Amino acid sequence: MAQSTAHADNITMSGGGVYSLATIGAKDVIDRAMPRVLSAIDSMRAARLQEHVHWTFSDMGCADGGTSLDLWRTVINHLRDNDARDIQIIYADQANNDFNALVKILHGLTEFDAYLPQFENVRVLESGASFYTSILPANSLDLGFSATAMHWLSTLPCRLSEHVHMVGAVGGERETFAVQAAKDWQEILLQRAREMRPGAKLVLVNFCIDEEGRHLGHTGGVNMFERFNANWQSLLDQGTIDADEYHAMTLPQYYNTVEEFSAPLLDPASEVYASGLRLSDIETAIVSCPFAEDFKKHGDAARFAKAYLPTIRTWNESTFAGALKPERSSEDRAELIEHYYGLYENQVAADPTGHGMDYVHAYMTIEKI
Ligand SMILES: C[S@@+](CC[C@H](N)C(=O)[O-])C[C@H]1O[C@@H](n2cnc3c(N)ncnc32)[C@H](O)[C@@H]1O
């Protein structure tokens, strides 16, 4: 097993609003959760109307907030039918997130259609607290939401010797990732259990490995993670990077199965179950890669390749760049990273068949009794 580096620092999304502009698919994933979120709110509404407290929602791992604007606008409109109570939404992400972009997007200073100017008595707060820690005071949260974020582990459990991602890991290395992921999932849930009021809900939309073994970028066509690895390996074979740099590139991510997500919520002996959390519902769903869908209409392979690569770069460029030796100059680094993604872009342009980053998620609702 390769040596662990025990860090998960190099995982920032692209800043300056680039994240939301390049990730139309992530917005589609969130939009698909709307009925689930509204139904979670409806199930609490009657009880909450008896109380004179404001609504408190959280959006954990929000990045620049652009992809969930429509979700929260829909939620607020839905509540405003018969409920004028104050609403506060806590947007939380890691402290190194681009909070400037978040604040500007939320407050209507960009081309995104902000909801804040449209409503009274709605407040947003921005928090740099990780979802592995406490974000809110105890017993204060009504609905916690998170999309496409909780696959980031709290720490890298080990470097993978022959792959860049756990989906390609085998044997002891795969098991090491699974153990870390189970610990992390438990921590995320216990932190939320403390924050949630009785009757509160979590709607979590997390990457998963589905019942047929499919996952992000692997739904029947070209396996995106195999491409990442083969191209990174080719840089090693050509001597462009060295063995340390090849091995330093392990994404600190884990995609749980439905069983792994469900286990602590169904086991009466678990700490999570004892905390009062119960799984109300879980289902998996695939949201098609919008760039591959677009390609079906326009048929221009070069255009597809150019549009597709930025969505990949938003979430893994910082990790690939972080694997390069610090003694490299910034020009050398930038050139190498351009070259790396250029390889993939050229491959898609040369033969676009089967390329695309379909999203594979588990959508779940969890209640605190
Ligand atoms: C792919 S983006 C998802 C953004 C948005 N929720 C969406 O679905 O479009 C993942 C986000 O999770 C954040 N993230 C990763 N680990 C985190 C942690 N421990 N606590 C809070 N946010 C985290 C990243 O910084 C990033 O902004």
Is residue 73 pLDDT above 80, yes or no? yes
Q: Which of 13, 68, 216, 313 to mutate to test the pocket of ligand 1 (most atoms within 8 A of CB)?
A: 13
pLDDT tens-digit readout, 159-191: 999 999 999 999 999 999 999 999 999 999 999
C-beta 250 within 6 A of ligand 1: no
Q: Is the dihedral of CA 310, 316, 318, 324 positive or negative?
A: negative
Task: Please report the atom of ligand 1 found closest to the CA of residue 65.
Answer: 5
Contact status, residue 105 vs residue 27, Cβ threshold 8 Å: no
Name the residue with the closest Cα to ligand 1, atom 27.
Answer: 63
Supply the pLDDT for residue 13: 61
Q: Is the dihedral of CA 212, 218, 223, 227 positive or negative?
A: negative
pTM score of the predicted model = 0.94
**Confidence band, pLDDT 50/70/90 cuts, at residue 16:** low
C-beta 273 within 6 A of ligand 1: no
C-beta 33 within 6 A of ligand 1: no
- Give mean pLDDT, residues 88-106: 97
Distance 145 CA to ligand 1 centre (A): 12
Task: Please report the atom of ligand 1 found closest to the CA of residue 59.
Answer: 6
359-368 and 196-207 strand pairing: antiparallel
Tokens for 55, please give them.
């609504």
Which residues, including other chains, have CB under 8 Å from residue 98's CB and lie 6 or more apart? 12, 13, 15, 16, 19, 63, 64
- Give mean pLDDT, residues 58-81: 97
Q: Report d(CA 113, CA 259) in Å as an integer.
A: 38
C-beta 55 within 6 A of ligand 1: no
DSSP string covering 25-86: HHHHHHHTTHHHHHHHHHHHHHHHHTS---EEEEEET-TTSGGGHHHHHHHHHHHHTT----
Which residues, including other chains, have CB under 8 Å from residue 130's CB and lie 6 or more apart? 92, 94, 95, 154
